[in-house]
Amino acid sequence: MTQATYKLNQLQHYYGDKRVLDIDGLQIQKGSITGLTGPNGSGKSTLLKIMAFALKPTAGEVWFNGRREVPLSPRVRSRVTLLTQKPYLLKRSVFDNIAYGLKIRRDRDNLDNRIKEALASVGLSYDGFAHRQ
């Protein structure tokens, strides 16, 4: 049997006194697609934030690729990405917004061309948009 990408044990999270998450156990296998359903306030976003290592659970463990991990751990920081429902654009140019993730990973090779490609993939020209604020 292959190792689970995610393994959650006895996970609980509270906002103040209110418990929003209580999961005894959950495993997500590599390459699988998992959907989360539930009414408003049932903890879907909280669970995603915990799984993206952007939020520390009140109690419980999150295992990623066989290791117990915590938020901001260098091992998971650049490997797990959460695409949020409401995008936040940094107060800087389009170029700098796109390059931010690469720059903090110190991945600056061929930056101009990669940004040109990223802009082209959404139908925007580099010359027209890259340096807009």
Partner 1 sequence: MDFIVAGFIKAIELLINFDHSTYTAVSATLQASTCSMLISLGAGLPCGFLLGYFNFKWKRPLRTVLDTLLALPTVSVGLLVYAFISSQGPLGQFGLLFTLTGIAIGQTILAFPIVTAITASIVENIDPELKLTLVSLGAGKRNIIMTCLWEVRYGLLAAAVTAYGRVLTEVGISMMVGGNIKYHTRTITTAIALETNKGMFADGIALGIVLIGIAFAVNISLSFLRKQ
- The stretch among 10-18, 21-29, 58-66, 96-104 that binds partner 1 (CB under 8 A) is 96-104
Q: Which of 13, 102, 93 is nearest to 60 (CA)?
A: 13
Q: What are phi and psi of 67, to 5 degrees?
A: -125, 145
* In the complex, minimum distance from the CB of residue 18 to partner 1, in angstroms, rounded to a whole number: 16
* In the complex, minimum distance from the CB of residue 86 to partner 1, in angstroms, rounded to a whole number: 6
DSSP calls for 92-110 = S-HHHHHHHHHHHTT--TT
- Angle at Cα 6 formed by Cα 19 and Cα 102, nearest 5°? 100
Return the sign of the alpha-carbon dihedral for residues 117, 122, 127, 130: negative
* In the complex, minimum distance from the CB of residue 16 to partner 1, in angstroms, rounded to a whole number: 11
Closer of 11 and 98 to partner 1 (Cβ): 98
* In the complex, minimum distance from the CB of residue 81 to partner 1, in angstroms, rounded to a whole number: 5
Q: Could you say whether residue 15 binds partner 1 (CB under 8 A)?
A: no
Q: Could you say whether residue 16 binds partner 1 (CB under 8 A)?
A: no
Q: Could you say whether residue 101 binds partner 1 (CB under 8 A)?
A: yes
Closer of 1 and 90 to partner 1 (Cβ): 90
Cα separation, 36 vs 41, whole angstroms: 13
- Tokens in use for 48? 């995603």
Residues that bind partner 1 (CB under 8 A): 49, 52-54, 71-72, 74, 77-78, 80-84, 86-88, 90-92, 100-101, 104-105
